[in-house]
Amino acid sequence: MGGESVRQQWAKAWTPGRKILETACQIAKERCPGKPMHLEVRTWNRRAIRCYEKSGFYIDGQPFTQKTLSGEGRFFRMVHLV
Protein backbone atom coordinates (compact mmCIF):
# COMPACT_ATOMS: atom_id res chain seq x y z
CA MET A 1 0.00 0.00 0.00
CA GLY A 2 2.78 2.35 -0.95
CA GLY A 3 4.12 3.33 2.47
CA GLU A 4 0.75 4.26 3.96
CA SER A 5 0.32 3.93 7.69
CA VAL A 6 -2.22 1.52 9.13
CA ARG A 7 -4.26 4.56 10.21
CA GLN A 8 -4.35 5.86 6.62
CA GLN A 9 -5.40 2.44 5.34
CA TRP A 10 -8.26 2.27 7.90
CA ALA A 11 -9.37 5.81 7.00
CA LYS A 12 -9.73 4.77 3.35
CA ALA A 13 -11.64 1.64 4.31
CA TRP A 14 -14.18 3.65 6.38
CA THR A 15 -14.72 6.37 3.76
CA PRO A 16 -17.50 4.51 1.86
CA GLY A 17 -19.47 3.96 5.08
CA ARG A 18 -19.22 7.62 6.02
CA LYS A 19 -20.33 8.65 2.54
CA ILE A 20 -23.35 6.36 2.72
CA LEU A 21 -24.27 7.83 6.11
CA GLU A 22 -23.84 11.40 4.83
CA THR A 23 -26.01 10.60 1.80
CA ALA A 24 -28.72 9.07 4.01
CA CYS A 25 -28.72 12.19 6.22
CA GLN A 26 -28.94 14.46 3.17
CA ILE A 27 -31.89 12.48 1.75
CA ALA A 28 -33.65 12.58 5.12
CA LYS A 29 -33.08 16.34 5.34
CA GLU A 30 -34.59 16.86 1.87
CA ARG A 31 -37.57 14.53 2.35
CA CYS A 32 -38.37 15.18 6.03
CA PRO A 33 -36.94 18.59 6.97
CA GLY A 34 -36.89 19.29 10.67
CA LYS A 35 -37.57 15.69 11.68
CA PRO A 36 -35.00 13.62 13.58
CA MET A 37 -33.24 10.61 12.12
CA HIS A 38 -32.86 7.62 14.47
CA LEU A 39 -30.61 4.58 14.52
CA GLU A 40 -29.71 1.85 16.98
CA VAL A 41 -26.19 0.61 17.64
CA ARG A 42 -24.82 -2.03 20.00
CA THR A 43 -23.24 -0.50 23.08
CA TRP A 44 -19.94 -2.35 22.52
CA ASN A 45 -19.51 -1.00 18.97
CA ARG A 46 -17.39 2.04 19.89
CA ARG A 47 -16.04 2.49 16.36
CA ALA A 48 -19.55 2.78 14.88
CA ILE A 49 -20.67 5.07 17.70
CA ARG A 50 -17.70 7.35 17.04
CA CYS A 51 -18.48 7.39 13.30
CA TYR A 52 -22.13 8.30 13.97
CA GLU A 53 -21.11 11.03 16.41
CA LYS A 54 -18.78 12.53 13.80
CA SER A 55 -21.78 12.64 11.46
CA GLY A 56 -23.89 14.58 13.97
CA PHE A 57 -25.69 11.80 15.87
CA TYR A 58 -25.87 11.75 19.65
CA ILE A 59 -26.87 9.06 22.16
CA ASP A 60 -30.45 9.61 23.28
CA GLY A 61 -31.21 8.11 26.68
CA GLN A 62 -30.03 4.99 28.44
CA PRO A 63 -28.99 1.66 26.85
CA PHE A 64 -31.80 -0.83 26.29
CA THR A 65 -32.01 -4.56 25.69
CA GLN A 66 -33.34 -5.87 22.39
CA LYS A 67 -33.70 -9.33 20.89
CA THR A 68 -32.14 -9.87 17.47
CA LEU A 69 -31.58 -12.85 15.20
CA SER A 70 -28.18 -13.33 16.85
CA GLY A 71 -29.59 -13.16 20.38
CA GLU A 72 -30.22 -10.51 22.98
CA GLY A 73 -28.07 -7.39 23.01
CA ARG A 74 -27.66 -3.98 24.62
CA PHE A 75 -28.18 -0.99 22.33
CA PHE A 76 -28.01 2.77 22.28
CA ARG A 77 -30.58 4.79 20.36
CA MET A 78 -28.87 7.62 18.49
CA VAL A 79 -30.52 10.69 17.02
CA HIS A 80 -29.54 13.24 14.39
CA LEU A 81 -31.59 16.40 13.92
CA VAL A 82 -31.57 16.79 10.14
Q: What is the pTM of this model?
A: 0.75
CA–CA dist 8, 4 (Å, integer): 6
Specify the number of domains making up the chain: 1
Query: Which CATH number characterizes residue 31's domain?
Result: 3.40.630.30
Host domain of residue 34: 6-81
12-36 per-position pLDDT tens digit: 655 677 888 888 889 988 999 999 9
42 phi and psi angles, rounded to 5 deg: -65, 140
Residue 38 in any domain: the answer is: yes
The answer to whether residue 1 sits within a structural domain is no
Provide the pLDDT for residue 71.
92
Answer whether residue 34 is part of any domain. yes
Kind of pairing between the strands at 58-59 and 71-81? antiparallel
Classify residue 77: in a domain, yes or no. Answer: yes
Looking at residue 71, the DSSP 8-state letter turns out to be E
State residue 17's pLDDT score: 79
